[in-house]
Chains A and B, each alone.
Chain A
Amino acid sequence: NAGVTQTPKFQVLKTGQSMTLQCAQDMNHEYMSWYRQDPGMGLRLIHYSVGAGITDQGEVPNGYNVSRSTTEDFPLRLLSAAPSQTSVYFCASSGTFPLTEAFFGQGTRLTVV
């Protein structure tokens, strides 16, 4: 049981480049979300999804797009990377609220130069 898998673990981008951070879960969870964490700060919610085909914005959605075509996958797209998007990104999934915990991936460290 792999849980929540994020790829890549590390990435360096140039300003203006685009890329997709991948997140996959094998627990058949309905709920998935993306967070970013800047140095010395807590996690901030970017986007979340309550099921396939349904997404919504979190606290800091600007500059990011998401889609949820399957239950398993929830990719995060950076359309035009900016240095302000340098951060550690975490993906999470959880089942039926409130009985189940949220599982987090190990993170993607993104540097935009």
Chain B
Amino acid sequence: DAKTTQPPSMDCAEGRAANLPCNHSTISGNEYVYWYRQIHSQGPQYIIHGLKNNETNEMASLIITEDRKSSTLILPHATLRDTAVYYCIVRVVGATNKLIFGTGTLLAVQP
């Protein structure tokens, strides 16, 4: 599975959009990009995933660059409850469903 690189921490003002970057320059054509978050030592929570196209759900949007070497998770209106560690993970299609976590980005939403 490709390695990902994320900034260790970011701040965001409450109500503003939070844009979390992820670099996955060695991603291959059959690898999906997944985002999970972990709120204060709870079990990680799935947010969104994508392969090539941009994706949106009720929680967030995922923007993947055309060359697929990087992506951005967007929380459109961050709240204090969005303060968490956000993990960007790439997974191979048809693999064993393994999720290999990095150290993630600690997003601190400020009032």
Q: Contact: A43 with B101, CB < 8 Å?
A: yes
A-B contact count (CB 8 A): 63
Cβ of A57 to closest chain B Cβ, rounded Å: 11
Q: Contact: B93 with A97, CB < 8 Å?
A: yes
Cβ of B32 to closest chain A Cβ, rounded Å: 5
Interface size bracket, A side: 20 to 34
Query: Total interface residues on B, using CB and 8 Å?
Result: 24
B91: interface (CB < 8 Å): yes
Which residues in window 55-107 of A have CB below 8 A to B? 56, 58-59, 88, 90, 92, 94, 97-98, 101-107
A2: interface (CB < 8 Å): no
B binding-site residues for A, Cβ under 8 Å:
32, 36, 41-46, 49, 85, 87, 91, 93-104
